[in-house]
Structures are given as structure tokens and as C-alpha cells.
């Protein structure tokens, strides 16, 4: 189901993502989103952590950047 709303862009370019949508997409303070401009359309999607792209191994687990740093240190002794 497609939901649509209209939002006003503030003078500094900000818009508000409705709380219901943020909760559904699991967007929290500090979440990173990816913006894509195509002709006269802007797409916004939640940025996946590189670990989330592993083949189903980590389904339903959301990695933080701290997790990434810890894994990097343990694998490469950084």
C-alpha cells in the first residue's frame, strides 16, 4: 500500500518524516538515510550497514557502527 502526504520544506531544507513512518522503517536518532535524485523525483531510503548485505546470515539483526568498528578491530587487529 502506498501512503502519500504533503510536507512543507523549511527555509533550511528540512522536512519531517511522520512518526508512524519512522517507526515502520526503524529510523531512530542517528540513522543514516540515502537520498537519490532522479529527474524531478527524490527517493529516500534507510542506509544499510555493510554487514546487513551478507546473504541472510544477519536477517532481523540491525548492526551499529560500533559493531562494525569492533569487528574490524578483532579481524584486522587495528
Query: pLDDT tens digits for the chain (78 residues)?
Result: 889 999 999 999 999 999 999 999 888 888 889 999 999 999 999 887 666 666 556 667 777 878 878 877 777 664
Domain assignment present for residue 23? The answer is yes
Question: What's residue 78's pLDDT?
Answer: 47
**Residue 5 belongs to some domain of the structure:** no
What pLDDT does 68 receive?
Answer: 77
Give strand pairing partners of 45. Answer: 34
Is residue 69 situated within a structural domain?
A: yes
pTM exceeds 0.75 for this model:
no
Domain range enclosing 49 = 19-76
Residues 6+ apart with CB under 8 A from 28: 22
11 within a domain of the structure (yes/no): no
Does residue 7 fall inside a structural domain? no
Q: Is residue 45 part of a domain?
A: yes
Whether 39 is covered by a domain: the verdict is yes
Domain count of the fold of the chain? 1
Amino acid at each position: 500500500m502506498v501512503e502519500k502526504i504533503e510536507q512543507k520544506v523549511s527555509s533550511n531544507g528540512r522536512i519531517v518524516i511522520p512518526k508512524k513512518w519512522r517507526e515502520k522503517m526503524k529510523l531512530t536518532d542517528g540513522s543514516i538515510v540515502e537520498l537519490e535524485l532522479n529527474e524531478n523525483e527524490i527517493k529516500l531510503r534507510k542506509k544499510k550497514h555493510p554487514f546487513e548485505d551478507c546473504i541472510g546470515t544477519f536477517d532481523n539483526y540491525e548492526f551499529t557502527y560500533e559493531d562494525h568498528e569492533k569487528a574490524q578491530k578483532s579481524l584486522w587487529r587495528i
